[in-house]
């Protein structure tokens, strides 16, 4: 039996201005743990900005989202512009502010945000093919903005939950390690660092998300 393949969409490297490293790495671990494979993608664009992860202050330099994502993917990452839904059985998007700053403008525009065209196309194409989509932490806002009437979780933050509703989605409150499953649309989400979480709780959420997505493919 051929192994299922996940397309993992990264948004840089580092939770303040890119992909959240724990969420991304533990998602990759869960994929292999459950007998599947992955290939990483990222848009070949400039980061919105670069932050010092100790001070939180902006740094006077520019970085590229694809090149930064390669740090997590150990160099094995493709430009999102090359992505085809035929290349994967599922799409999963780890969180981190990169999802809200690089993959979209959610960090600045809230529910009126724009999603990068290649990101929106990947989500729409996978949904149209009936293939599962997973999103961790803040990344569910991308799915809400692109697909609208879906059921998602970002944990228990009321402001973000209200924004999901404003984008047409339904919010499901969750706690550490829990997932929300929209079976009709084949979408699985988990809150991760939207809550005050430990790394073992991130691992539990990522594992539950990947397992649920694989069950949808069975």
- Which active-site residues does the annotation give? 137
Instruction: Tell me if residue 110 falls in helix, strand or coil.
Output: helix
The CB density around residue 76, as the number of other CB atoms within 10 Å, is 10
Nearest to 141 by CA among 97, 79, 198: 97
The CB density around residue 65, as the number of other CB atoms within 10 Å, is 29
Q: Which residues contact 47 (CB under 8 A, 6 or more apart)?
A: 12, 17, 18, 62, 63, 64, 65, 68, 98, 101, 102
The CB density around residue 25, as the number of other CB atoms within 10 Å, is 17
Both tokens assigned to 90? 């599922």
What are the b/e assignments for 6-22, b being 16+ CB within 10 Å? bbbbbbbbbbbbbbbbb
Instruction: Tell me if residue 33 falls in helix, strand or coil.
Output: helix
Distance CA 188, CA 186 (A): 7
């Amino acid at each position: 039996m051929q192994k299922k393949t996940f397309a993992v969409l990264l948004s840089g490297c580092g939770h303040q201005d890119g992909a959240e490293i724990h969420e991304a790495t533990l998602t990759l671990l869960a994929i292999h743990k459950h007998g599947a494979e992955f290939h990483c993608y990222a848009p070949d664009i400039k980061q919105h900005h670069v932050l010092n992860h100790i001070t939180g202050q902006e740094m006077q330099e520019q970085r590229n989202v694809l090149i930064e994502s390669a740090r997590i993917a150990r160099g094995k990452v493709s430009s999102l512009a090359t992505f085809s839904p035929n290349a994967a059985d599922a799409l999963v998007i780890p969180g981190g502010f990169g999802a809200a700053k690089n993959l979209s403008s959610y960090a600045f525009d809230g529910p009126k945000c724009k999603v990068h065209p290649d990101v929106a196309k990947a989500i729409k194409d996978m949904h149209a093919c009936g293939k599962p989509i997973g999103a961790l932490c803040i990344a569910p806002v991308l799915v809400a903005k692109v697909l609208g009437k879906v059921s998602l979780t970002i944990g228990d933050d009321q402001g973000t939950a209200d924004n999901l509703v404003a984008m047409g989605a339904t919010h499901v409150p969750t706690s550490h390690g829990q997932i929300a499953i929209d079976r009709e649309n084949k979408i699985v989400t988990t809150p991760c660092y939207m809550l005050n979480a430990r790394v073992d709780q991130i691992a539990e959420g990522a594992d539950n998300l990947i397992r649920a997505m694989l069950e949808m493919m069975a």
